[in-house]
Amino acid sequence: AQSVTQPDIHITVSEGASLELRCNYSYGATPYLFWYVQSPGQGLQLLLKYFSGDTLVQGIKGFEAEFKRSQSSFNLRKPSVHWSDAAEYFCAVGPNFGNEKLTFGTGTRLTIIP
């Protein structure tokens, strides 16, 4: 069965500092990988996704993620965070065939300090 681990429950970063959110997945084949962001009182918004090809994926709002098969990881990065990036971030994995649905990690809450 597929699974996702986000080892960091809560991360605090200073505004302007770089950010890396960790995501490890378990899946028997090459999965589809996603990062979503959820602001308070809002639904989830897709930041980026990886299906195949270039392992460095660019997303919206200046985010990027790198797929590392050898480490079963798909970490999210941003070179310089803004106060508006404070939110909860979810990594998700899904199969690249069939109609199975996404499995989400438990999320990482990001706090930005001035």
Partner 1 sequence: KAGVTQTPRYLIKTRGQQVTLSCSPISGHRSVSWYQQTPGQGLQFLFEYFSETQRNKGNFPGRFSGRQFSNSRSEMNVSTLELGDSALYLCASSSHPTGGVGDEQFFGPGTRLTVL
- The footprint of partner 1 (CB under 8 A) covers 32, 34, 36, 41-46, 49, 51, 90, 92, 94-107
Least Å distance, CB 43 to partner 1, is 3
Q: How many CA atoms are closer than 13 Å to the CA of 41, on its beta-carbon side?
A: 0
Closest CB to partner 1 among residues 49, 77: 49
Least Å distance, CB 89 to partner 1, is 12
| 31 secondary structure, DSSP code | P
Alpha-carbon distance of 75 to 30, in angstroms, equals 16
Q: How many CA atoms are closer than 13 Å to the CA of 31, on its beta-carbon side?
A: 27
Closest CB to partner 1 among residues 41, 114: 41
